[in-house]
Amino acid sequence: MRPPTARGAVSRRRRVCGGGRAGAGRARRCLPLAGAALGAALATKMSTLPAVPVLAALAALSVCARRPRDARRALAAAGVVTVTAVAVVWATYLVVDPRLRWEPGATHVPVVRGLHGQLVRMLPFPEAYWDGMRIQFGLENRSWEGFLFGHRYSGARWYYLPVALVVKTPLGMLALWTAGAVAMAGMRRLRPAAPYVLVPAAVLLASAMTGARDLGTRYAVFLPMFLAVAAGCVLTVRRRWAPVVVGALTVFVAVSSLRTYPCYLPYSNEAFGGPARTHLRLHDSNVDWGQDLGRLADRLHTRYRGERVWLVYKGSGVPAYYGIEASDPRRVPPGQVHGLLVVSDSAVAEARDGLAVLLRSSRPVDEVGDSITLYRR
C-alpha cells in the first residue's frame, strides 16, 4: 500500500472543510443565513447561548478549504455569523417595541453577581435580554424538586434529561435518530457534515443537563431539530432495505403519535406503557401543566353531577371559570374530606403531609386526559 501523498492529504482536507473553491464559495454565501438562524434561536431560547462559540468555529471551518491556514478568513467567517446573530436579536426586540422600553421594576429581577453577572453584562444584547438572563440564573439558584420513575428528590440529576427523552420520544424516532447519527459518523461521504449536526446538539444537551430544574423534556426542545436532519441521512445508505425500514419507522412514529390524540402532553412511548402511565415515571410539563381543566369540568358534569368535589389543581387556570365548584382538601382536617377527591398528577407525584395521607386512604376511580386522577374517599 502506497503512503498518502501530500496532494491526497490536501484533497481530504478540502472535502472536510467544504469541497474546494466551489464549496468554500457556497459556504461563504450561506454564512449570513446561518447567522440569522442562530440569532432567531437566541431570541427565542436563551439556552442556545452555549452553541454560539461552537457554530462560530464551524463557520470558520466551512470556509477553510481554499486556504486552510488563512486565519483571517476563518475569523471573518466566524464574525459574520456572530454579528448577524446579534443583529437578529436586536431586530427581534425592536419589532416588539421600537423604543426598547423596559421597566425592570415591573417584575422581580434578581441581582446576579460573580461570573454569571459578568457574563450577562458582556452580552451585546438589549437590557431586557440581560434581565431575562438574570431571571433564569435566579431560577437556577432556587431549590427544585424532581420526580423520576416514582422517586421524588431534591435538586437535579445529570441523567434526567436523557432518561426523560427515552421515555417521551416515539420508539421509531429514537431508532431513526440513532441510525442517522451512526450513518453520519460512519459513512465517509457524510462525515464532513457530522460536526454541523451532531456537535451543536451534543453541546446544547450537555449544557441543559447541568441545569437545576428537572421539570421536562422541553429543556431539550432543540434536539429533535438537529437529529431529524441526521435521521434523513439514513436514506443515503446504499442498501435495498434502507428506504423500507425508514418508511416503516416513520409510519410507526405517526401511528404512535395519533394514538395519543387529543392528549399529547402526557405522551410516552409504548415501551413505558403509553400516556396513561407517564405520570408514574415523570411529572410537571412531561405530564401535567394544567391543560385538562376544561375536560375535567365536562367529566364532572356528565358523570359526577351534584357530588362534593375536593380539588388539588396544578396550573394557572381558574376552576370556577369552567363551572367547577370545589374546595381545597389541604385546608381542612383529613377527616372532613369525603366525596370526590380530584388531584393533578403532578401534585400526586409531589404529595406530602396532609395530601399524602388523603391519597393513601382514597381509591382511584377515574382519569381525565392522563393528567388528572379522580379518587373516591
Tell me whether residue 39 is in a domain: no
Q: Is residue 124 in a domain?
A: no
Looking at the domain assignment, is residue 233 inside a domain?
A: yes
Range of the domain at 170: 143-274
Cell digits of residue 219:
429543556
Q: Indicate the residue type of 179.
A: A
Whether 224 is covered by a domain: the verdict is yes
**What are the backbone angles phi and psi of residue 371, rounded to the nearest 5°?**
-135, -15
Give yes or no: residues 172 and 259 share one domain.
yes
The answer to whether residue 270 sits within a structural domain is yes
Residues 300 and 250 in one domain: no
In a domain, 175, yes or no: yes
- 252: cell is 410507526
Q: Are residues 243 and 184 in the same domain?
A: yes
Backbone angles phi, psi at 80, to 5 degrees: -60, -45
Is the domain of 261 the same as that of 338?
A: no
Domains identified in the chain, total number: 2
**Quick check: is 268 in a domain?**
yes
**Looking at the structure, do residues 161 and 208 belong to the same domain, yes or no?**
yes
Q: Are residues 154 and 267 in the same domain?
A: yes
Give a yes or no: residue 111 inside a domain.
Answer: no
Which candidate, 376, 342, 345, 372, places its Cα nearest to that of 362? 376
pTM assigned to the model: 0.88
One-letter amino acid at 195 equals P
pLDDT in tens, the chain (377 residues): 444 444 444 444 444 444 555 555 677 788 999 999 999 999 999 999 999 999 999 999 888 765 666 788 899 999 999 999 999 999 999 999 988 888 777 778 888 888 889 999 999 999 999 999 999 999 999 999 999 999 999 999 999 999 999 999 999 999 999 999 999 999 999 999 999 999 999 999 999 999 999 999 999 999 999 999 999 999 999 888 999 999 999 999 999 999 999 999 999 999 999 999 999 999 999 999 989 999 999 999 999 999 999 999 988 899 999 999 999 999 999 999 999 999 999 999 999 888 999 999 999 999 999 999 999 99
